[in-house]
Amino acid sequence: MATASADNALKEHPLAVTAVLSVVGYALVVGTFLGWVPGRVFPDLSLEQVNLLSDAIALVNTVNVLVIAAGWRWIRRNEIRRHAAAMVTSFVLILVFLVMYLTKIGGGGTKEFVGPAFAYYPYLAMLAIHIVLSIVSVPVVLYALVLGLTHSPTELRNDTPHKRVGRIAASAWLLSLALGVVTYLLLNHVYGWEYTQSATAALLAAPV
């Protein structure tokens, strides 16, 4: 009975659910960057571990690009179950990415690009687009997911903006992920970087 009531609430108020989930996600990321998340939440990472997490994040994002592309192809071919499975898988990969990313930032730090000007400015432009898209995509992706999980295929087609929202979400997230992988390659394997410890990691490393 309670489960049915909760399901109905999710179905009837997808925008509210999206707003709550978005705020939680934003708060976690901003809190981690600013050192507001308690240090004990994250392990104290070495630079080698930070590099391993960077590699793992790039791998997860590359796989996610392929998953989203497959999901897009399947819905265009009206293979609804495969499309739904791909989109849920994509969201799980986003969560995996988020956990690894927050762990890397909270327990380690960030890398700053070191390279020639002709590469630096395109790198910054791609990084900026990647970051902006990743920020603005969050509520759109969540809204499409909430609609997809709470409505039947017929309802999605006839009663919701799922098709339009999903197209925007997939396009924005696909471009964001692809640019993230490209900037990762430029930063880690083509040019150089300088390491900056995060606020939370600095607190972890400080003597008591």
**Which domain CATH number covers 77?**
1.20.120
Residue 15 identity: L
User: What are the start-end ranges of the H helices in the chain?
Assistant: 2-12, 14-34, 47-76, 80-107, 117-150, 153-159, 162-185, 199-205
By residue range, what is the domain housing residue 104?
A: 2-205
Number of domains in the chain: 1
The 10 Å Cβ neighbour count of residue 171 is 15
Q: Mean per-residue pLDDT for 71-95?
A: 96
Q: Mean per-residue pLDDT for 102-130?
A: 93
Residue 92 identity: V
Residue 171 identity: S
Question: Which percentage of the chain shows pLDDT scores above 90?
Answer: 75
Instruction: Record the pTM.
Output: 0.87
Query: In this model, does residue 153 exceed pLDDT 50?
Result: yes
Residues 182, 162: Cα–Cα separation, whole Å? 29
Tokens 């409505």 belong to residue: 151
> Sign of torsion, CA 96 62 139 143?
negative
- Tell me the per-residue pLDDT of 21-58, one tens digit each, with 9 for 90 and over: 999 999 998 888 887 877 578 888 999 999 999 999 99
Query: In this model, does residue 204 exceed pLDDT 70?
Result: no
Q: CA–CA distance from 79 to each of 72, 149, 153, 155, 169 (Å)?
A: 10, 16, 11, 16, 19
